[in-house]
Structure 1
Amino acid sequence: MIAAAVGLAACGSSSPSVHQAGAVCEVGQLDETQMLALKRAAPDQPLADLSHYAPRRHARAADALLNGGGCESNRSFRYGAGVGDITGPALGEEQLGYADPAQVSQGIHTREHARAFAFSSQCGGRSGYAMLVNVDNALAFDSIKFGVMKKIADDTQDRLADYWTMDNVLISATHTHSSAGGQAHYDYVNLFALGFDQQAYGAVVDGIFQAIVQAHRNLMQATPGPIAIATRELLDTAVNRSPPAYAQDPEAERRAFVDTAGREVTTNRMMTLLKLKRDDGTPVGMINWYSVHGTSIGQTHKLLSGDNKGYAAQRFEHEFSRGVYADGAFVAGFFQSDEGDSSPNLFMMELPESVLHAHGGEGWDTRGGGRDDYESAMISGYKQYHHALALWDDADEKLHGEVKAIHIPIDMSKVVIEAPKTYPDALMPAVGAQRTCEPAFGVTFAAGAEDGRGPFSEEGAACPMSDDRLLPFITGYLQTTLGVLPDGALPSTLIEPVGCYNPAFALLGYACQQEKPILLPLAVAPAGLPLVLLQARTAPLQIVTLGNLAIISLPWEVTTMAGRRLREAVLDTLQDAGIDYAVIAGLSNSYVDYLTTREEYSVQNYEGGSNIYGPWSLDAVIQEMTRLASHLRDGSAAASPYADPRYRDHVPLLPFHLGLVVSDSRLPAGAAFGDVTQQPAAEYQMTRDERLTVSARFYSAHPRNDLMLGSSYLYVDRKVGDDWKVVATDDDWWTRFTYLKNGGGSDEALVEWQVPAGTEPGTYRIRYQGVTQDGTPYSGSTQPFALKGCS
């Protein structure tokens, strides 16, 4: 929508990967609606004070490290990168993220990948290893890591277990909400997926393992080189979607983060980038961390997609390796950070609740700045790509130190916080020791966030904490419950009296949840019966250091202020050990929902209602992560009184997909799978201001017969001389594959190619391939069609 904001390419660009969805030739002028959007979105201003993000080197003598012996002055690392295809079932699988039972996969927008980066250092008589894996997935369950570690343990060809362990392997999700579900071993996550799906699980585990193998082999063959780092703010790309909760944080703390106009900066706008380029000039890969949800594409869409970070990675990789994945090819990892309250939908907060609940209406399709969700994802992804490219060009500071990793699983249901931190103007001061709780969701978990509302009507359903709030609470309950249901949604107060101060919940260990009205207990052990765990009690905490950068790995979606407090605490512990920088790697190694500050928890917005271990969760994590950092600093083994020595893979109660029927449709007499049922036109004229989409249909067998991992269901070919050259696959941003179930008729594959700007005129065709239920491959091709240049 906002052409000026994304640097759209004009017709005739030499780049085969372009930035505009729709128009094929020159970029037109902004229309009145687009100009209004630009005026509405006043540009972010740079921070007035960036000292919070400045390196900590001032805490030591200026040249103490660089002139010292051992590993302190080491600037030489080995690294390698690899990629694996993790695309899940394109049909019949609930998509992760929105927990919407109607959002079931029906095709592919882009394939999804695991991108692995292997690091090692050898200095001071010590060797260190770390494997950072970024996956185009909504979540990175511990079931996935356990599955990957089992494959590593079983490997005999490369002896991977000699190098890679639970301690030094970090698996982090980009958090796209358009990936396959059914991958968890805890049942609440699989609820709308109708159980565990072995095919979806196998795809992600196998793809990650493939990426790790490739990265490991490239590491073993690599010559040492430097790792350069750069950091800078990325503006106009994220908005805080939970301002009432953020406003509860102490004013003095919030005032420490303001822009040059004095406005509060309510999201983490810093991008931290690592440039992996060897001394001989060979570019190997790039890693960055930036905080923004993968929710540009909303829950009404049913195609698997990498969303905004998927586009950014594709676009960056295309700059170096033309998008072709092979051993030695350039790999770009757009890692997630503390994005718990950070949304890419910049105009969403202006929409009324009725539109948010309906997921439609005026403004919904353009809430991210594009004309539709896919263009919004491209705009957000392009901003991240473009900023990362600028940081790549500017990165010249070299990391120094060694590669180390430390990891410990913590039972989050029983942590005692010995000294909770109290801020001067805190609304919720700590009095004495506090503790965490058995995991439970609050009522506002079902309300959903602004990116995708749930069945309840609103956020902010909190239990009264004092007598003077009790009467208004009861009055409000009666008024809301007896009134008309707002916007077709259930009033959140309907269940508050049941969830607040319920003696049954107190007996089960949930009284310490305080303001949270309990909606769903996640750990229940009825008298005399085995414990039923719908969500994990154990959270794996991990710190990986690459030289003087610390990567704080944890399995939560961390809100902005929670991330600031955690980062500062770890840096305070590690700064004297040579650590200058720290980033949060959220959604890593498992998934245990949200991590908020105590103050944010008190108002029970969606994020607070999804903070499952209770109000003091962040303080518990800071305490245990600081303890872990101390062990890393001192070179001692990880230890904690709350460690879970029996941390292991959980067994789902429902270990299969209910009601899944995979069968090929019947074909008309004389027809075959792959036959074209709708040909493209013989000729298309490219224009300057209209969208051009070429489409075709084919008889199709069920996509679950073969996930086509490492391949493609579709191809767009251009004729070059007597040969055909592939110009697009189902991993291309501009193609879409949709499986059409024709209600008793013969099912079809709809292939659409939105012709991108800069496409060469010429002769083209579309191909489709698949596998029948008996394992027989098939394919089909359209008649050639002509694309004519702009007049």
Structure 2
Amino acid sequence: MCLAFATGACATIDGTLPVPVPRAPDRAMPERGWLAGAAEIDITPPPGHAMGGHSIEGVVALGAWTRLYARALYFEDARGVPLVLVVGDLWAVEPGLLDRVAQRLHEHPGLSHLGREHLVIAATHTHHGPGNHGTSRLYSAFAAPEGGHDHDLFEALAARIATAIADAAASRRPARLVRHTVAVPALARNRSIEPFLRNPEASELLSANAGLPGCPGLPADLAPAPGVDPCHAVSPVLEVLHVLEPTPSGAEADAHTIAIAGFFAMHPTAMPNRTELYHADVFGVATARAQALLDARAADDRGPVVALFNGAEGDVSPNWAPQGRVSTVSLGQALGDAIVLALDEPGQEIRGEIEIAFGWRPIAGQRFADAHGEQQRTSRRALSGKAQLGGAEDGRTRYHERGFAEGIARRRPRSNGQGVKRSALPWPASRFTPPPGMAPREVPLAVIRLGSVVLATLPGEHTTILGRRISASISAALPDHPDVLRVGLAEGYLGYLTTPEEYALQHYEGASMLFGEQAGALIEHHLVQLARTGTVERRQAYRYHAGRPRRWRMGPEHVDPARLRLLEELEPRLSGELETGPVAGMPRFYLWDRAPEWPTEDPRARMIPRVRIEAFVHGQGWQPLRIGDVPVDDRSGGLAAMLTHVDGERWRWGVWWLDPGAPLGQPLRFRVETVGGGPECSEVFALGDWFRPQGPGWLEPRACAAGLE
């Protein structure tokens, strides 16, 4: 039985999971090592969706700054065993989405060998992607400022992710895998220093990082512990799996790059929560930059796919100062450069086979022996602590000064597994909120061997030290003691997970751990058991009660008046949110386009116009403008597109060039790939026209002529 939170019916997600049919290796392939392929797909929905991650502090998207993507990597060993790694620019992925993707894959020819256990789908955890696609009632209700489950959004994401996987599998070819490991200091910092220091391993990590550049000079609220550099209280390691085609010489530098899988722990919140545009934050800028730089290196037009996965980022923030677009672009460019530069460092060849351990594991009301052999328990019901409503230490909410601050704990620990947590709600409301069954009570987990590399999925936001404990325990449980890469926000979402030592202080992360002080240790226990047994558990069907149904409210047949009111004074608001300065001083282009069709059966349909800047080059015509090998477009963060007017099926878009940079007299134009179909361009302009107090106004639409006419 499902009763939606508050009022309304309950959206139900159900389906079947086909049993995968193993297939023999393709003997026609000249190499019998790895096969690999990669693909990406645009998952940016139309404007009008509430964005997930900031909960009630979030906003509704009215355009896009950087587009959202799902990037899929397909691997197959010599026996024909497959593995798929996907990362999407989403706040989280929940098990129902993965199950639906697994079911949809069998609609694509030639993919009957892929089962649910072969899929690792993760989120970058951007807080500026759509928020109402969850399949648990808790996160459907509270992940976004407007609660509910949007079935059309859910199905669109599942269809697009499945299409990306199908494209990646279709492009598979002989490949080599090379692992590179580099330190990338001063890009991320620990935002929860006091709980971090309670861990016995804290001093070891601080000592190991002492020789790296730090982040001194931060304000006291961002560096609250004197003598402790927050940039040394994280794992500054960037892991890169380089997927490349074999060459006769065997030299990595001579080979074509198929894809890169990067792993770096960072909570991507360098942008403020009020930004009213979709974007992928630091990870979006980083992947766009790395991909563009690798494109420039390539000898042909087969550009590589760069997929950047998160790690144990629960207490790790980008090292922004201050928070905003300028810091986001700077950090993203530095991380993108690091991904590319890592390929120049010595690497380790990855050989072997794919081995998968996968299963669903209970979280609520469990008794188990922890890593030290001591008996522990988790709570039978979810409970939010005081500090959860007050926000993280570098991201306070409106409730922090109303009594929902960190450090508020019970004097006498509870005996029900919640320890010293003090409920965010007073009694008796705390006894009934959340209602039974609203929070997920079990999660899918996977431990996967990809040759000499082991991947462990983390179903939420694990803190730095908890992530290190999990890796060490899995490594110790395996006979060859391999290094373990943590794939954060993968397979499912349980919110925050901390060590018991961190939990005892009841800061934001500990107060947000739903099932008590030992829930993080239980995840560690389950992953170790999976690693030891190597079992694969399959389910034949799935069913989720996703909460109150919600529909997109900007369709041409009916636009919610509240959505129209959001468009009023949008541009002045965005100039502050994007740190642009006066709107009149920017190159701007406005055009009318057809409203997007939503929902749609076409997984490649464009929901927001694609935009870029072109430069006229004598002898070559109009070419994409590149600054330092990176195109000026809506992937890299150089352009923003926002909805300005709605007139039935006609929508008016504004496109801004945020950081103009080109020779002042060079002929330039905006080029827009419209939702309605064909391209549309602006009149030709030069940057020199814009450097005066008010600028020349805005640019008018023109046909995309081949010359300067």
- The alignment's TM-score, normalised by the length of structure 2, stands at 0.76
1:253-281 superposed Cα distances (whole Å, 9 cap, x missing partner): 53454134696731111111111122222
Q: Residue in 2 aligned with 1:652? A: 546
Shift of 1:662: 4.5
Per the alignment, residue 588 of structure 2 pairs with 695
Counterparts of 1:724-735 in structure 2, within 5 Å, are 724-727=622-625, 728-735=632-639
Say whether 1:382 aligns with 2:333.
Answer: yes
Per the alignment, residue 450 of structure 1 pairs with 393
Tell me, yes or no, if structure 1 residue 583 matches structure 2 residue 488.
Answer: no
Alignment deviations for residues 635-685 of structure 1 (CA, whole Å, 9 cap, x no partner): xx347xxxx9698341322122386665588xxxxxxxxxxxx9xxxxxxx
CA distance in 1, matches of 2:519, 2:551: 33
The alignment status of 1:714 with 2:628, answered yes or no, reads no
2:23 corresponding residue in structure 1: none
SS in 2 for 1:651: strand
Residues 294, 340 of structure 2: 8 Å contact kept: no
1:143 CA displacement: 2.5
1:293 aligns with 2:267: yes
Distance in 2, matches of 1:388 and 1:526, equals 48
1:294, CA displacement in angstroms?
Answer: 0.9
1:517 and 2:441 correspond: no
CA offset digits 1:85-123 (Å, max 9, x no partner) = 11122x22111111135511011101111111111212x
Matched, 1:83 2:40: yes
Measured after TM superposition, the shift of residue 199 of structure 1 is 3.8
The residue correspondences of 1:616-765 to structure 2 (distance < 5 A) are 616-632=518-534, 637-638=535-536, 648-657=542-551, 662-663=556-557, 693-699=586-592, 702-703=595-596, 708-709=605-606, 712-719=609-616, 724-727=622-625, 728-741=632-645, 748-758=652-662, 761-765=665-669
Which position in structure 2 is the counterpart of 1:335? 309
2:309 partner letter: F
Indicate how the Cα distance of structure 1 residues 714 and 293 shifts in structure 2: closer, same or farther if over 3 A, else same. same
In 1, Cα distance between equivalents of 2:680 and 2:32: 54
8 Å Cα contact 2:379-2:417 kept in structure 1 = yes
Deviation at 1:77, TM superposition (A): 1.9
Q: Kindly state the Cα deviation for residue 717 of structure 1 after the two structures are TM-superposed.
A: 3.7
Deviation at 1:322, TM superposition (A): 5.2
Distance 1:652 1:153 in 2: 24
Inter-CA distance 256–323: structure 2 relative to 1 (3 Å threshold): closer
d(CA) in 1 for partners of 2:195, 2:256: 46
* SS of corresponding position for 2:655: strand
Give the Cα–Cα distance (whole angstroms) in 1 for the partners of residues 584 and 449 of structure 2: 47
Q: What aligned pairs does 1:237-386 form with structure 2 within 5 A after superposition?
A: 237-250=187-200, 254-255=203-204, 257-258=206-207, 259-260=209-210, 265-280=232-247, 281-321=255-295, 328-347=302-321, 366-367=322-323, 373-386=324-337
Matches within 5 A, 1:601-616: 601-616=503-518
Partner of 2:360 in structure 1?
409
2:681 is aligned with 1:785: no
Q: Which amino acid aligns with 1:456?
A: Y
> In the superposition, relative to structure 1, how do residues 420 and 552 fare at CA in structure 2: closer, same or farther (>3 Å)?
closer
CA distance change for structure 1 residues 664 and 177 in 2, over 3 Å: closer, same or farther?
same
CA displacement at 1:549 relative to structure 2: 0.9
Cα 1:711–1:179 change in 2 (3 A) is closer
Task: Report if the CA contact (8 A) 1:713-1:730 is conserved.
Answer: yes
Equivalent-residue separation in structure 2 for 1:142 and 1:274 (angstroms)? 26
Secondary structure of the structure 2 residue equivalent to 1:189: helix
Q: 1:526 to 1:340 in 2, by over 3 A?
A: closer
Matches within 5 A, 1:69-80: 76-80=33-37
Q: In terms of mean alpha carbon deviation, does 707-716 or 286-295 score higher?
A: 707-716
Match in the other structure for 1:672: none
Is contact 1:193-1:657 (8 Å) kept?
Answer: no
SS of 2:384 mapped into structure 1? strand
Distance 1:747 1:273, change over 3 A: closer
C-alpha distance 293-118 of structure 1, shift in aligned 2 (>3 A): same
Q: How far off its partner does 1:391 sit?
A: 1.4
Given that 1:712 and 1:730 are in contact with CA atoms closer than 8 Å, whether structure 2 keeps it comes out as no
**Matched residue SS, 1:534:** coil
CA distance in 1, matches of 2:204, 2:468: 13
The alpha-carbon distance between structure 1 residues 545 and 179, as it changes in their structure 2 partners (threshold 3 A), is same
List aligned pairs for 1:88-103, cutoff 5 A: 88-89=45-46, 91-100=47-56, 103=59
Say whether the 8 Å CA contact 1:712–1:731 is kept in structure 2.
no
Report Cα offsets for 1:402-447 as digits up to 9, x if no partner: 112211111111321224538xxxxxxx6x4433432232222111
Cα RMSD for the two superposed structures: 3.7
Matching residue's letter, 1:376: S
Q: Which amino acid aligns with 2:473?
A: A
Q: Cα distance 1:383–1:724, how it changes in 2: closer, same or farther (>3 A)?
A: closer
**Unmatched tracts of structure 2, length 5 or more:** 1-30, 212-226, 248-254, 560-570, 572-582, 626-631, 692-709
8 A contact 1:141–1:591 mirrored in 2: yes
What TM-score comes out, normalization by structure 1 length? 0.68
Identity of aligned residues (%): 21
CA gap of 1:462–1:647, structure 2 versus 1, over 3 A, is farther
| Counterpart position of 1:435 | 378
Query: Does the alignment pair 1:200 with 2:148?
Result: no
Q: Give secondary structure in 2 for the equivalent of 1:762.
A: coil
Name the amino acid aligned to 1:405.
I
Q: Relative to structure 2, which stretch is displaced further, 177-186 or 410-419?
A: 410-419
